[in-house]
Amino acid sequence: MATDKDGITPRAKDYGQWYLDVIKRADLAEHSGVRGCMVIKPHGYAIWEKMQRELDDRFKATGHVNAYFPLLIPISYLSKEEKHAAGFAKECAVVTHHRLKTIDGKVAVDPESLLEEPLIIRPTSETVIWAQYKNWIQSYRDLPLLINQWANVVRWEMRTRLFLRTAEFLWQEGHTAHATEKEAREETWRMLDVYADFAENVMATPVVKGRKSPAERFAGAFETLTIEGMMQDGKALQMGTSHYLGQNFSKAADVQFLNKEGKLEHPHATSWGVTTRLVGALIMTHSDDTGLVLPPKLAPIQVVIVPIHKTDEERVKVVEEARKVAAELKEQGLAVRVDDREGIMPGAKYYEWEAKGVPIRLEIGPKDLEKGSLCLVRRFMAEKPGETPEELRKRRKTFPPRAEAIASIKPTLDAMQKELLERARAFRAARTRVVDTIEDFEAYFKDPNAGFAWVHWAGEAKDEEQMAKRFETSVRCLPFEDQIPADARGEGKCLLTGKPSSQRVVMARAY
């Protein structure tokens, strides 16, 4: 367990170490003894549960239902769709035997239990789900089929990073089937909008919506849409993707339906997913050198109440008051915790809950009881121009009368949710440049914390590789028209090749 002696490396000093320190201090996750696999600790998992609930409600509101498909996929399934196989038949966990035996107290693989056909642990489920859809789809009446799965997947990874890249991770994967290309493409856009709405209005993380370049498409997709967020080191993070798969998978799995005219057709498919990587995105968008900062909508504990006392007599009274206040806040539907642990000083408790990102802290001492007031401390607050850290800290702490304090919690949390989004938007704006020449591009990306560059681009895959080699940047997306800032609109010429370009793209370094 981390003690309050463990500090957090400042972001400005070492961003990578800061990220790990925040995770450790907030007690979100850690590496396991199993290569590449992480353990999501209770506080981290509680955030993921909140995300799941919000997303699941949105999936259901758009007509989707959940189901569950096998973890294991016969390798012959992969061979059916050529591009998909090329993309996913790589680093994965392969099951080859089905029995162990104990020899001299040591456990070993029983060689006689070799499987006829090896199985892989799903890296994604298109092939195994479409094999099943063959039984489910016969007529246009069976369409659209709108199914989502919450599951674990494994993609063997050599270099791992908590939440951002691990061999096993948790995700949801939507897999839908439609009678027409038009309907399927609409679904692809609809789900990207669901993700963008979740990112902005729940995670308080602004995103750019757009298309992936052919080089970055999902293996087997006709089109991949993406939302891209900006982290505090200026790097882009792909936060969710939605794919139009055409008839690739329905043909590979031999799925056909009778259309209204009585003719056999292959349905059109989509798939879309977000992962536990979003917890990493959340950390890197909002947190500070004190630890985790959480948007109130995703905070497993929204208000922590810390009773302060010296004598036993005081303790009884303030703890009683703390419980009363907690009960009143819980009635408002708020997630509240009274921290009446003994043997831990109030200061250590403040430190712990700030590191864990609890948005509001109430301190209740004997003097507050006397005065009929509460001490309310906000985890963060937008800085005013020219304000010193000391002034800001004072402003974060107020002493409203009890009733007023209790009535103010909900509006304060709403305000904090908005402030975080505004702060993230301002941060992104400050790290975004419209760039027209390769020289300006080079100059901009000399800064290791450079952000997004809006550039004209008409290069091919090999040109993208060249940019990656020179600047470590990539085309994050071809943004939808309504995503393009006013000063970046219009046609132009590719900054590398000089070829004509119809619109700008977002280039950035990325996770």
DSSP string, 348-414: HHHHHHHHTT-SEEEEE-HHHHHHTB-EEEES--PPPTT--HHHHHHHHEE--BHHHHHHHHHHHHH
Cβ nearer to its own copies, comparing 337 with 425: 337
Cβ nearer to its own copies, comparing 178 with 212: 178
Cβ nearer to its own copies, comparing 75 with 407: 75
In angstroms, the CA 101 to CA 111 distance is: 9
According to DSSP, the β-strands at 492-493 and 474-479 are unpaired
Sheet holding 65-66, edge to edge: 65-66, 145-154, 168-178, 268-275, 236-246, 223-230, 207-211, 474-479, 504-508, 452-456, 432-434
In angstroms, the CA 360 to CA 205 distance is: 20
Q: How far is the CB of 278 from its own copies (least distance, A)?
A: 14
**CA torsion through residues 366, 372, 378, 383, sign:** negative
Cβ nearer to its own copies, comparing 242 with 276: 276
Cβ nearer to its own copies, comparing 134 with 371: 134
Cβ nearer to its own copies, comparing 207 with 303: 303
Report residue 493 as tokens: 């010429």
Residue 224 backbone dihedrals phi, psi, to 5 degrees = -120, 125
DSSP lists the bridge partners of residue 446 as: none
Cβ nearer to its own copies, comparing 39 with 426: 39
DSSP lists the bridge partners of residue 173 as: 149, 273
Q: How far is the CB of 304 from its own copies (least distance, A)?
A: 16
In angstroms, the CA 243 to CA 221 distance is: 6
DSSP string, 129-160: HHHHHHHH-SBGGG-SEEEEEEEEEE---SS-
Q: How far is the CB of 44 from its own copies (least distance, A)?
A: 8
In angstroms, the CA 203 to CA 15 distance is: 21
Q: How far is the CB of 104 from its own copies (least distance, A)?
A: 10
Termini Cα distance of the chain: 29
Report residue 503 as tokens: 């619109």
Cβ nearer to its own copies, comparing 70 with 400: 70
Cβ nearer to its own copies, comparing 278 with 435: 278
